[in-house]
Amino acid sequence: MTARAYTELAVKRVTACDMAVCGLLNGASRHATIKNFFAVMSRLGDGWFWYGLMILLPLLYGQSGVALSLLMLRVGILNYIIYKIVKEVTGRARPCAVDSGIAVGAAPLDQYSFPSGHTMHAVAFSLVAIAQHGELAWMLVPFAALVALSRMILGLHYPTDVIAGGAIGALTASWMIGS
């Protein structure tokens, strides 16, 4: 078997696993309470939670809160640029567009799934905030995890979309924290 054949086989296996996990998680959205809870988490992850946090940080921490909010804003802009470029280059259709068995639990913000921008921003904003104010971890880590999970439960992203979004968010946050 050639290297290309191995690569194609690996891609098929990852794709099948991606769809299987997405279908399993999406099945939870058939319960209205679960669907509604994760729809709220996803909606907050659209930016509302983060905008509120950026407004609140200066009130809680004074000048260091202002600096943190500005750093979060810069990370958000960088992630948005990366997000738009990667989405356009990859053009990966959302699971709900590929498989009619995947129920859409919330309106997608755009047509492509890779990477998860919600997860990218949730991870990046959380890491940046926690780096300066570790006491926020108790709130930000669970919230970021729920946002990431919501994207799969609502049928909008594959697990690899969420993993990639988290990885990109972690990289950009680490880079911005270090600069």
Letter for the amino acid at 36? Answer: N
Please tell me the predicted confidence (pLDDT) of residue 2.
81
Q: Average pLDDT in the 157-171 region?
A: 95
Q: Which residue has the higher pLDDT, 147 or 106?
A: 147
Q: Average pLDDT in the 34-57 region?
A: 93
State the Cα–Cα distance between residues 118 and 26, nearest whole angstrom.
17
Please tell me the predicted confidence (pLDDT) of residue 82.
95
- Label residue 51 by pLDDT band (50, 70, 90): very high
Question: Which residues, listed in sequence order, are joined to residue 93 by a DSSP beta bridge?
Answer: 112
Q: Does position 11 have pLDDT exceeding 90, yes or no?
A: no
- pLDDT per position as a tens digit, 100-112: 888 888 878 888 8
Q: Which residues contact 99 (CB under 8 A, 6 or more apart)?
A: 19, 23
- pLDDT per position as a tens digit, 68-82: 999 999 999 999 999
Alpha-carbon Rg for the chain in angstroms: 17
Q: Does position 178 have pLDDT exceeding 80, yes or no?
A: yes
How is domain 3-178 classified at the architecture level of CATH? Orthogonal Bundle (1.10)
